Structure 1
Amino acid sequence: MTVIAVVVFVIAYVLIATEWTHKLLAALGGAAVLLALGVTDSEHAFYSHETGVDWDVIFLLLGMMVIVGILRRTGVFEYVAIWAAKRAKGSPLRVMLLLTLITAVASAFLDNVTTVLLIAPVTLLVCERLGINPVPFLIAEVMASNIGGAATLIGDPPNIIIASRSGLTFNDFLVHMAPLVVIVLVVFCLVVPWLFRGSFEVDPAKVENVMRLNEREAIEDKRLLVKSGIVLTAVLIGFVGHSVFHVEPSVVALLGAGLLVLISGVATRDYMSAVEWQTLLFFAGLFVMVGALVKTGVIGTLAGKVQDFTEGRALFAVMLILVVSAVLSGIIDNIPYVATMSPVVLELTKGIPDPTQADALWWALAIGADFGGNATAVGASANVVVIGLALRAGYPISFWEFTRKGVVMMAITIVVAAPYLWLRYFVLA
């Protein structure tokens, strides 16, 4: 059974990484084969916290997708983008910096995939008005979304998986990840003019067109905006107050979604169309496959080998996880990577007596996976989404065009992250 679990998982992983077939088909197909062959069963796949589908992750994403689907109908995201372009006075460099910062902040409190889905179409509109190539702007925004999404539990799907496996809370992510994200964003803003040099020339006449846009016209439903703002604020308070309320983030998100559905009056088809069912089913299939590896003892064996290799040296283990996670998350999607590595890291933490240093392993995994997702076009789901949107708009982004800039940004962020981990958890702890 162990061999079958490994073979099926590797084949599915290759299919996901190479995109020879749709990643949903690969994940659900792999899960189906494992269930059909008896490697795992319904009890382990659907009811076990250790070896089954992590329903907290699924329902947290579902709830946030519904909330954002309703919020999208207010036009607030278009308002913010037009406002940013006008405040930048049409300067392409300032427009890029403002939009990337807005994207980074929004990604921390929504999620990076949802944020780029909302910001990218508006970026295309603004760039069209300015008469400039939107490709550098879209690449910069998706990089900012992956960086900003690292700041919170809900900002990036890998963080949700890590939180579920480790027991770390929304506040833990804010305290430990947000300071690093702020530092990295400052570095990112300093690097942007160099990384995208040659992309900021604009016709002055085009600038006038942008300055004529009225951002207030973008708001389509003010009453719905107020209702959505109140509910979203309450949801964020629920996330932050987890230790006080003792309500899981998934429950908070579902309660918020249910309340907003109730008071918004938005038709079911309108907000349900915002739910990315393929993403949710992809997660489910992935959890079943990883659970089969746990059930058959593969993960335990792998964790033991890594533990032997690091010889209990916590700092070495942290740096190893950081670098390996960054590299592998760039080669393959960071979601399946984290789903696979989380049980390994969980086992490794049990061999480190200092709880602060043990938690540092989780932060190294989160940082490596989130920032490493910037390395290539397939490193993170947000990358794939933006490339698809650009292609449909007539601005294809090649794998290597993205990767040339992505690898540089990934390397810079990991170089910044390494001393942060060392200082915070081993020197100043």
Structure 2
Amino acid sequence: MNDWHSWAAIVVFVGAYALIISEKIHRVAVALGGAGLMLAIGATDDVSAFYSEDSGIDWNVIFLLMGMMMIVGVLKKTGMFEYLAIWAVKRARAKPFRVMAMLVVITALASALLDNVTTVLLVAPVTLLVCERLALPAAPFLIAEVMASNIGGTATLVGDPPNIIIASRAGLTFNDFIVHLAPLAMFLVVVLLVLCRVMFRKSFVYDEDRAAEIMALEEREAIKDPRLMVQGLVVLTLVVAGFVLHPVLHYEPSIVALLGAGLLVAATAVETHEVLAEVEWPTLAFFAGLFIMIGGLIDTGVVGEISHWLADLIGGNELGGSLTLLGGSAVLSGIVDNIPYVATMAPITSDLVRDMGGSSDHVMWWALALGADLGGNATAIGASANVVVLGIAERNRQPISFWQFTKYGLVVTAVTVALSLAYVWLRYFAFS
């Protein structure tokens, strides 16, 4: 890190991060401006920014989001989300906390089968309608769901993109994740519900008149276009099957999402411009800028230097190393998107595992996965799902500020990471 490019890249990233936190300038403008500065100072270049798998824009993430946004946009026109909103409220007897608990559990379960970004894209529109019907603030519900998606995504190989990277590098299977991480994830969802009951207690205001109105509604009347809804659900089912069958089909999730979106637009009477209007273009632009800024830190060796420092700190102590890796990953994943972080740490973790004799229970890999996945809850830009939901909230005039999200995210992350540290110690060392 003696090269001035490294220090310049740090200044640009820290400055951009400070502006995002301050919210004095829109986060999309900051991300794109920071990306431009990274290119201008030579921290990265056009080849790295647009074509590099290690330090460039992750086009798989961008096109996955775009494809799923288009599919959700078509389903939104059918009235399906209104149907689900009324159904959910009626099943919860219009009690605000019961509604939140139902949405949190559904989100966590869905995130274990889908990736967490796809899940929040599907659940967020329902949540906004539920809150509108009950005259409740949407922010607490959306924040709780994002955190549930990141926790639920920890449980399986396909639930969170970092898990896919880890599985590929470590040779882990879908069943390995189920056995080692799913039990903890289920417990942490229950812990999240308890925390939500405390953190958002002032938001659970029960309105008897509103509740009576919703209980009297017939949810089937909300469906505006049954044929289009059936077509959309068939395509969505095929897309979900494509995600789950990735190990067999070898199609990237982005390809599956784009194929689904293209099929839906081609096979239905929906106008193309109407579907494209539903895409959260500012969110995609923010991701692109953020990827380029992080790529500048990777190309100049800043992320690698931090990772190697962590590796030196761990040394040959497997217990201390596992706990340090988990905690350190949680901190760094709250600042830097967890996808490039895990991509950088994976080869270093592989070396650590080899140096320690290749532990059969893969504890170092589980520590990395837990830290990266759960650490994403810490800040508003710690995970892809967080950024997507903030974009949806802003578009629907229910903005969630950086600090509004982060003040709750830090609490949830601190508690879940502490419990994960205890889990790793108890399962792999105390009773092994």
Q: What TM-score do you get using the length of structure 2 for normalisation? A: 0.80
| Whole-angstrom distance in 2 between the partners of 1:33 and 1:346 | 29
The answer on 1:127 being equivalent to 2:109 is no
How far did 1:86 drift? 0.6
The answer on 1:86 being equivalent to 2:78 is no
| Whole-angstrom distance in 1 between the partners of 2:218 and 2:32 | 46
Opposite residue 52 of structure 2, the aligned amino acid is S
1:187–1:377 CA distance, 2 compared to 1 (3 A)? same
1:39–1:396 CA distance, 2 compared to 1 (3 A)? closer
| Whole-angstrom distance in 1 between the partners of 2:42 and 2:404 | 44
Residues 233-286 of structure 1: per-residue CA shift (max 9 Å, x gap): 222222222222222222222222222222123211222122222333333333
| Whole-angstrom distance in 2 between the partners of 1:165 and 1:257 | 31
1:26–1:34 CA distance, 2 compared to 1 (3 A)? same
Q: 1:182 aligns with which of 180, 186, 197?
A: 186
Q: Is the Cα contact below 8 Å between 2:73 and 2:278 reproduced in 1?
A: yes
| Whole-angstrom distance in 1 between the partners of 2:264 and 2:150 | 27
Equivalent residue, structure 1, for 2:235: 231
Structure 1 gap segments, 5+ residues each = none
1:305–1:277 CA distance, 2 compared to 1 (3 A)? same
The answer on 1:418 being equivalent to 2:421 is yes
1:208–1:411 CA distance, 2 compared to 1 (3 A)? same
Equivalent residue, structure 2, for 1:343: 344
Q: 1:267 aligns with which of 264, 271, 275?
A: 271
| Whole-angstrom distance in 2 between the partners of 1:302 and 1:148 | 28
Equivalent residue, structure 1, for 2:284: 280
Equivalent residue, structure 2, for 1:11: 12
| Whole-angstrom distance in 2 between the partners of 1:384 and 1:101 | 21
1:22–1:68 CA distance, 2 compared to 1 (3 A)? same
Aligned runs of 1:19-98 on 2, under 5 Å? 19=20, 20-98=24-102
Q: Is the Cα contact below 8 Å between 1:161 and 1:339 reproduced in 2?
A: no
Q: Is the Cα contact below 8 Å between 1:357 and 1:425 reproduced in 2?
A: no
Q: 1:247 aligns with which of 226, 245, 251?
A: 251
1:22–1:360 CA distance, 2 compared to 1 (3 A)? farther
How far did 1:197 drift? 3.9
| Whole-angstrom distance in 1 between the partners of 2:79 and 2:277 | 16
How far did 1:347 drift? 2.7
The answer on 1:407 being equivalent to 2:407 is no
How far did 1:355 drift? 5.9
The answer on 1:367 being equivalent to 2:374 is no
1:26–1:196 CA distance, 2 compared to 1 (3 A)? closer
1:22–1:9 CA distance, 2 compared to 1 (3 A)? farther
| Whole-angstrom distance in 2 between the partners of 1:409 and 1:143 | 8
Q: Is the Cα contact below 8 Å between 1:5 and 1:34 reproduced in 2?
A: no
1:235–1:393 CA distance, 2 compared to 1 (3 A)? closer
Residues 28-37 or 226-235, more deviating: 28-37
% same residue: 50
How far did 1:222 drift? 1.6
How far did 1:211 drift? 0.6
Residues 379-388 or 117-126, more deviating: 379-388
How far did 1:311 drift? 0.5
What SS class does the counterpart of residue 101 from structure 2 fall into? helix
Q: 2:125 aligns with which of 107, 118, 126?
A: 118
Q: Is the Cα contact below 8 Å between 1:387 and 1:396 reproduced in 2?
A: yes
Opposite residue 419 of structure 2, the aligned amino acid is V
| Whole-angstrom distance in 2 between the partners of 1:279 and 1:407 | 23
Q: Is the Cα contact below 8 Å between 1:150 and 1:156 reproduced in 2?
A: yes
Opposite residue 23 of structure 1, the aligned amino acid is R
Q: Is the Cα contact below 8 Å between 2:9 and 2:297 reproduced in 1?
A: no
| Whole-angstrom distance in 2 between the partners of 1:426 and 1:180 | 16
Residues 16-55 of structure 1: per-residue CA shift (max 9 Å, x gap): 3542433333333333333334443333333332333332
What SS class does the counterpart of residue 350 from structure 1 fall into? helix
| Whole-angstrom distance in 2 between the partners of 1:199 and 1:61 | 30
Opposite residue 147 of structure 1, the aligned amino acid is I
1:82–1:349 CA distance, 2 compared to 1 (3 A)? same
1:317–1:125 CA distance, 2 compared to 1 (3 A)? same
Q: Is the Cα contact below 8 Å between 2:89 and 2:99 reproduced in 1?
A: yes
How far did 1:56 drift? 2.4
How far did 1:309 drift? 0.9
Structure 2 gap segments, 5+ residues each = none
1:239–1:44 CA distance, 2 compared to 1 (3 A)? same
The answer on 1:101 being equivalent to 2:102 is no
| Whole-angstrom distance in 2 between the partners of 1:235 and 1:115 | 13
| Whole-angstrom distance in 1 between the partners of 2:285 and 2:396 | 27
Equivalent residue, structure 2, for 1:258: 262
| Whole-angstrom distance in 2 between the partners of 1:238 and 1:175 | 23
The answer on 1:321 being equivalent to 2:325 is yes
Residues 13-22 or 231-240, more deviating: 13-22
What CA RMSD, in Å, does the superposition of the two structures yield over aligned residues?
3.8
